Structure 1
Amino acid sequence: MTADAIVLGAGIVGVSTALQLARRGKSVVLVDRKEPGLETSYGNAGLIQREGVVPYGFPQQFGLILRYALNNRIDAHYHWSALPSVSSFLAKYWWHSNLTRHQLIARAYAPLIEHSISTHNELLEEAGAQDLIVKNGWTEVFRTSAKYEGEIGEAERLRKEYGVAFKELSPADIARQEPDLSHDFVGGLKWEDPWSVKDPLGLTRAYAALFEKLGGRVLKGDAKSLSQTRTGWRVVAGDGSVEAKDVVVALGPWSDTVTRQFGYNFLVGVKRGYHMHYSSRGAARLNGWTMDAERGYFLAPMNQGIRLTTGAEFARRDAPKTPVQVDRAEAVARTVFPLGDRLDKEPWMGARPCTPDMMPVIGKAPRHEGLWFAFGHAHHGLTLGPVTGQVIAEAITGQKTLIDISAYRPERFGI
């Protein structure tokens, strides 16, 4: 089987990339070991984070780092056994999170975020998937005045520098917005620009269906079988193999299984995350996507139920699940909202691929023709799938890219 391009990885980034190539008239084969959307793209808070211009940094305050070291929080957890293998990543992550460097990174990162809504909207309209979207922002609620005032101050800075819209919420505003939420909160902040997704898996599948409608093919295969040919690339998939001039590695946290065999050793860490779905008790209703900011968990009214998501777990990518953060978060969440029964047999776990400078790897491999990278999106894979797919597709087809992607080039890691 031959094609113009092969995309390895059928998460939201890979599906979006394959779709954007197909929209530009290319014959494309999308290859994954599973059906589209069943790995990391399945489980997240379901946000297209137009406000997320500042990537999540590593804490800089010594006292806060010590509190994290106690390893009893919801927003972060770690495996002691994994620390030796992740220490190099964490050290560089901490270094890049210095205030000055972090602000420079945010300026380079912002153009991607700024096009997140518009690029999703194009695909949503073509896929007929608007019913999966809620265009009503999301809310942070705060337990202390110090946290509230600090976050409002940061939001004001983002509004001034990046045009991000938000609204301050008083306790009365929170009560009107979420009548069934407890009165433990002194105030809130509603980010008005983001969109919410009621079923992230359903969205990925809708984009994959549009891709197939445009002539794209989805095959199960082994990305590690990728090899270079005289004219391009070959991968074992379906009942045989596929050959193409270009190949895009969009395997998220598993991208290293391919990149290393061609001599590209990226320092990519993994932040694992968990979720669980719940019913609500009685007639209680959660109206919108809500974060308990000081505790570090999220409640989202998904089609599957109320999804509770946790923060980051630093562990080896393939280590067994340790969903202690779900138990910690559930105990707190039940005090602020009348959650009912658990609806899943066990907590879901996914792995977010993170670079030390908090920006994705997007661009052409420096030493191989026709080899392209699109991974490392950390917490914003769902947000940045379509815009990443668009700029990669534009670069492959020789078009002017929507934005300058030089800040995300692989060479920045000295590979």
Structure 2
Amino acid sequence: MAQSAIVLGAGMVGVSIALHLRQRGWEVALVDRRPPGEGASFGNAGLIQREAVHPHPFPRRLAELTRIAGNRGVDAVYHPSALPGLASPLLRYWWHSEPGRYEAVARAYARLIVTCLDEHMAVARDAGSAELLRPIGWMRLFSTEAQLDHARQEAEAAHRDHGVGYRVLDAGALAEAEPHLMVRRAGALHWTDPYSVSDPHALTTSYARLLEARGGRFVLGEAATLERAGAGWRVQGAEGPVEAAHAVVALGAAAGTVTQRFGYAPPLFGKRGYHHHYGMRGNAVLNHPFIDEASGFCLVPMRAGIRLTTGAEFARPGAPETPIQIERAEPIARSLLPLANKVEDKPWMGVRPCTPDMLPVIGPIAGHDGLWGAFGHAHQGMTLGPTTGRLLAEMMDAKTPFIDPAPYRAERFS
């Protein structure tokens, strides 16, 4: 069973790992209980975020913490019943967000992010889906000149330290770029590097089709059945067992439920997110994705319509959907754009897999030969899928990785 692998999880990360392994000659079975791209990769802002060299830190200002504690916002809400279970990972998240510690985290995070455009485009060209990657970036809209100037300073630092591209638009330039915006803002910061994906699900499925075209296979199966099989691994597929020498856990927020059976229980926690699509009235259009800083949510032009995406909802695993953020955001969104009817009957909901130190787990899981992890990408699973796929495939193939994998090692949570 040499040079063979089971990859558990068919989101952008898992599909990319399977594809990179197959490109290196491995026999690969991609296993999921649902078809590719139907988990967290289905619902996001669809941005390949080259500018996101700084991960989302835990808020540390008292005013911000007090606002969130009120539980009336659009960007962050919580279920009180979830707080006892979240106390430990959130406290560690707060600890790692201390400025000195956060600086080290951000350096390691940026090493992954700066590769994302090239790694995605290399796969998308081969998959015939490069047209889904629109080089239009995204915008942050600001109500005051002071906010815009502060954002400009942050962008200048990101450009100086990491080569991030941006431009600053005054009120007139913003109105010209987005003529159907219904409010006047002081201006906008336009991150010019990111790709905006017109259909995230279609992008993931195109990569999965490329995997199959190159001889890999997709298998409907249950990750929870993963077990040792001699010197290798076995999982139950819909049409029988699947065996391989290696197994990769790329299950996002559900990864810990599998790895803990083998003695590895990383402190993962989930941030739930929702989206809903809307039409536009008349001939109105939205040219760029944007976040209005006064509102706290993202509006994105996509094939399906204008996608309204929410911030973070903290809830117990398996708790009923509570799309209160969509309900709070929709009337605000309608004040920003001439939105028409909803495209779907109900919002979509998914879970972003997060770690307390804001870095993903990428690498071997100690104590179990041939068991690997690739999860915890938080808001950037779509962005970092091909980067993670290449990095892990090079590690599994005993090649020198193109990025130092040490900061993402699994044992940091042992």
TM, length-normalised to structure 2 = 0.98
**Corresponding residue for residue 181 of structure 1:** 181
1:280-295 residue pairs with structure 2 within 5 A? 280-295=280-295
Going from structure 1 to structure 2, the CA distance change for 1:284 and 1:48 (only over 3 Å counts) comes to same
State the Cα distance separating 1:239 from its structure 2 match.
1.2
Work out the CA distance in 1 between the residues paired with 2:297 and 2:376.
22
Work out the CA distance in 2 between the residues paired with 1:12 and 1:317.
21
Work out the CA distance in 2 between the residues paired with 1:160 and 1:340.
41
1:275-354 residue pairs with structure 2 within 5 A? 275-354=275-354
State the Cα distance separating 1:71 from its structure 2 match.
0.6
Work out the CA distance in 1 between the residues paired with 2:66 and 2:328.
19
**Corresponding residue for residue 220 of structure 1:** 220
Work out the CA distance in 1 between the residues paired with 2:235 and 2:366.
21
SS of equivalent residue, structure 2 residue 118: helix
- Residue 17 of structure 2 contacts residue 386 of structure 2 at CA under 8 Å; is this kept in 1? yes
State the Cα distance separating 1:3 from its structure 2 match.
7.3
| 1:116-159 Cα shifts (integer Å, max 9, x gaps) | 01110110110010121101111111123332222222111111
**Corresponding residue for residue 62 of structure 1:** 62
Work out the CA distance in 2 between the residues paired with 1:339 and 1:391.
41
One-letter amino acid of the structure 1 residue matched with residue 193 of structure 2:
D
SS of equivalent residue, structure 2 residue 260: helix
One-letter amino acid of the structure 1 residue matched with residue 82 of structure 2:
A
State the Cα distance separating 1:371 from its structure 2 match.
0.4
State the Cα distance separating 1:376 from its structure 2 match.
0.2
Work out the CA distance in 2 between the residues paired with 1:183 and 1:170.
14
- Residue 136 of structure 2 contacts residue 196 of structure 2 at CA under 8 Å; is this kept in 1? yes
Work out the CA distance in 2 between the residues paired with 1:327 and 1:184.
23
State the Cα distance separating 1:2 from its structure 2 match.
9.7
**Corresponding residue for residue 207 of structure 1:** 207
One-letter amino acid of the structure 2 residue matched with residue 79 of structure 1:
H
Q: Does structure 1 residue 358 correspond to structure 2 residue 358?
A: yes
Work out the CA distance in 1 between the residues paired with 2:215 and 2:347.
36
- Residue 3 of structure 1 contacts residue 243 of structure 1 at CA under 8 Å; is this kept in 2? no
One-letter amino acid of the structure 2 residue matched with residue 161 of structure 1:
D
Work out the CA distance in 2 between the residues paired with 1:317 and 1:173.
44
- Residue 234 of structure 1 contacts residue 241 of structure 1 at CA under 8 Å; is this kept in 2? yes
State the Cα distance separating 1:306 from its structure 2 match.
0.5
| Farther-moved stretch of structure 1 (150-159 vs 249-258) | 150-159
Work out the CA distance in 2 between the residues paired with 1:264 and 1:212.
31
| 1:40-71 Cα shifts (integer Å, max 9, x gaps) | 10000000000101001111101110011111
- Residue 182 of structure 2 contacts residue 338 of structure 2 at CA under 8 Å; is this kept in 1? no
Work out the CA distance in 2 between the residues paired with 1:205 and 1:292.
31
Work out the CA distance in 1 between the residues paired with 2:314 and 2:301.
27
1:215-294 residue pairs with structure 2 within 5 A? 215-294=215-294
| 1:216-235 Cα shifts (integer Å, max 9, x gaps) | 11011111111112221111
**Corresponding residue for residue 71 of structure 2:** 71
Going from structure 1 to structure 2, the CA distance change for 1:227 and 1:157 (only over 3 Å counts) comes to same
> How big is the alpha-carbon RMSD for the aligned residues of Structure 1 and Structure 2?
1.2
1:81-92 residue pairs with structure 2 within 5 A? 81-92=81-92
State the Cα distance separating 1:184 from its structure 2 match.
2.8
Q: Does structure 1 residue 367 correspond to structure 2 residue 357?
A: no
- Residue 2 of structure 1 contacts residue 242 of structure 1 at CA under 8 Å; is this kept in 2? no
SS of equivalent residue, structure 2 residue 313: strand
State the Cα distance separating 1:317 from its structure 2 match.
2.6
State the Cα distance separating 1:165 from its structure 2 match.
1.1
Runs (4+) of structure 1 exceeding 4 A deviation are none
**Corresponding residue for residue 157 of structure 1:** 157
Q: Does structure 1 residue 397 correspond to structure 2 residue 397?
A: yes
One-letter amino acid of the structure 2 residue matched with residue 254 of structure 1:
A
SS of equivalent residue, structure 1 residue 282: coil
| 1:266-297 Cα shifts (integer Å, max 9, x gaps) | 10110000000000011111011111123211
**Corresponding residue for residue 28 of structure 1:** 28
SS of equivalent residue, structure 1 residue 291: strand
State the Cα distance separating 1:370 from its structure 2 match.
0.3
- Residue 45 of structure 1 contacts residue 309 of structure 1 at CA under 8 Å; is this kept in 2? yes
- Residue 274 of structure 2 contacts residue 347 of structure 2 at CA under 8 Å; is this kept in 1? yes
- Residue 33 of structure 1 contacts residue 222 of structure 1 at CA under 8 Å; is this kept in 2? yes
Going from structure 1 to structure 2, the CA distance change for 1:181 and 1:399 (only over 3 Å counts) comes to same
- Residue 175 of structure 1 contacts residue 183 of structure 1 at CA under 8 Å; is this kept in 2? no
- Residue 3 of structure 1 contacts residue 29 of structure 1 at CA under 8 Å; is this kept in 2? no
1:125-164 residue pairs with structure 2 within 5 A? 125-164=125-164
| Farther-moved stretch of structure 1 (221-230 vs 198-207) | 221-230
Work out the CA distance in 2 between the residues paired with 1:78 and 1:145.
32
Work out the CA distance in 2 between the residues paired with 1:18 and 1:140.
35
| 1:355-378 Cα shifts (integer Å, max 9, x gaps) | 000000000011111000000000
Return 5+ residue gaps in structure 1 as ranges. Answer: none
SS of equivalent residue, structure 1 residue 222: strand
1:47-126 residue pairs with structure 2 within 5 A? 47-126=47-126
TM, length-normalised to structure 1 = 0.98
One-letter amino acid of the structure 2 residue matched with residue 233 of structure 1:
W
- Residue 12 of structure 1 contacts residue 204 of structure 1 at CA under 8 Å; is this kept in 2? yes
One-letter amino acid of the structure 2 residue matched with residue 330 of structure 1:
E
One-letter amino acid of the structure 2 residue matched with residue 346 of structure 1:
K
* Identity across the alignment (%): 50
Return 5+ residue gaps in structure 2 as ranges. Answer: none
1:33-44 residue pairs with structure 2 within 5 A? 33-44=33-44
State the Cα distance separating 1:183 from its structure 2 match.
3.2
